Amino acid sequence: MTNQLRHLTNRCYIRILLFSIPFVLILSGEAFSSWPEFPLSSDCFSASAYATQSLPAIAFGGTNYLVVWEDERISTDRDIFGARVSILGEVLDPIGIKICTVPNMQTGIKVAGGDQNYLVVWTDYRNASDDIYGARVDFSGNVLDPDGFPISTGEGWESYPDVAWDGTNFLVVWSDDRSTTTYDDIYGTRVTSSGQVLDPQGIQISSDLAWEETPSIAYNGSVYFVAWEHALG
């Protein structure tokens, strides 16, 4: 790589960091799509959204997709915005849906689609510690729980959530250090389509003398499968 090309590449890289926004590329089940990628927010470079939009997550809701992301248009603390995207690639909410804009940071967003709505979950710092919050968004793009509801706010730090739908309830999983400040364990709870947290104390999924973090979850029609990072101390 020539010095001139290297310099140009570095400039482009910095520009992407400063103005990154979620893009989408639609792929078919048989082969890569020839459709071009497209931005999710046409307002992202206007005064109301001039900042970074990053770290998107996506789920399908039977008719449309919901893409959610971290957004700094209001505050550098990061908020949560989203947009529905049709199966034809039409952005239905071009300036974004405000999902959570409370003070302090919201990060680590994940989303799953259910039978009536989507459930968006994240790590929330509004209480000066890591907690797990969630918000439902219906298929019309209405936020049913503006700024979210608590899923796990117990002693210790809860972070790195993920969520899946089993046809009846959502299951939210996360890293949790309630047992010891040295190591994190994996906990979870079921959440209904109406937003009720069925296991308010959490379900202990894994507890070991190791760091257990960043869980991921999937449902195969019969059972959930949870995987996580396991690092010995």
Query: Domains along the chain?
Result: 3-24+35-232 (2.120.10.10)
What residue type is assigned to position 202 of the chain?
G
Q: Which residues contact 133 (CB under 8 A, 6 or more apart)?
A: 100, 106, 121, 122, 124, 126, 148, 149, 150, 151
Q: Please tell me the pTM assigned to this model.
A: 0.83
Q: Which residue has the tokens 């760091």?
A: 211
Burial level of 116, CB count in 10 A (0-12/13-18/19+)?
A: middle
Nearest residue to 173 (alpha-carbon basis) of 101, 223, 227, 127? 227
pLDDT of 57-93, one tens digit each? 999 998 999 999 999 999 888 999 999 999 999 999 9
DSSP alpha helices (H): ranges in the chain?
A: 3-18
Mean pLDDT of all residues in the chain? 83
